[in-house]
Amino acid sequence: MRWPGGSGRLPGIGIALLIAAAALLLLRGSGGSGGSAESSGPDRGERVTASVVRVVDGDTIVVTLDGVEESVRYIGIDTPETSKPGQALECFANEATELNRRLVTEGRVVLGFDRELRDAYDRLLAYVWARGGLLNAELVRLGAARTLTIEPNTARAGTLARLEAQAGRAGRGLWGDCPS
């Protein structure tokens, strides 16, 4: 291979740089999420309606989307864990799960997507609406969730942070019931 515009051969380091650049472009094209680039599902920025199959915990549900069951992780929040292997139940975990279950009782939700569609576990990452409200925000507002900002899905990070500060000041949910 000849160096563009030159007369010498491309040095070995040049080949390595070209390979690295190609790998970076491939990673960017797949969203860099660790999920499969061929994963089916919605497009970025799209909103879709889905049927809730079950509530996994305070920030994860399983839905049916186009006839396929999908695990959906709520963007921008983190609720106390109900079942981490080798760890005890976290304070307010059962309450957060039950609140999530009550919020999705109608069985239909609207999913909205940010820049990255899937996480490393191939779960859909979504903002979830039910009963006319954004559940991600409602869980934070009620003190059942803390904010969890992970780039590049940050479109609602400011709103969630503001709601978290208000819940903390008011001592709502985990802010009043759990030791810091």
pLDDT in tens, 46-86: 899 999 999 999 999 999 999 999 999 999 999 999 877 77
118 is catalytic: no
CA pair distance 172, 160, nearest whole angstrom: 15
What is the average pLDDT score of the chain? 83
Mean predicted confidence (pLDDT) in 124-150: 97
180 pLDDT band, cuts 50/70/90, is confident
54 is catalytic: no
Q: Active-site residue among 123, 141, 146, 156? A: 123
What is Dmax (Cα atoms) for the chain? Answer: 72
81 is catalytic: yes
Query: What global pTM score does this model have?
Result: 0.76
44 pLDDT band, cuts 50/70/90, is confident
Q: Active-site residue among 73, 118, 141, 146? A: 73
Mean predicted confidence (pLDDT) in 27-40: 41
Per-position DSSP letters for 154-175, written without gaps between them: -TTHHHHHHHHHHHHHHT-THH
12 pLDDT band, cuts 50/70/90, is low
Q: Active-site residue among 81, 90, 101, 115? A: 81
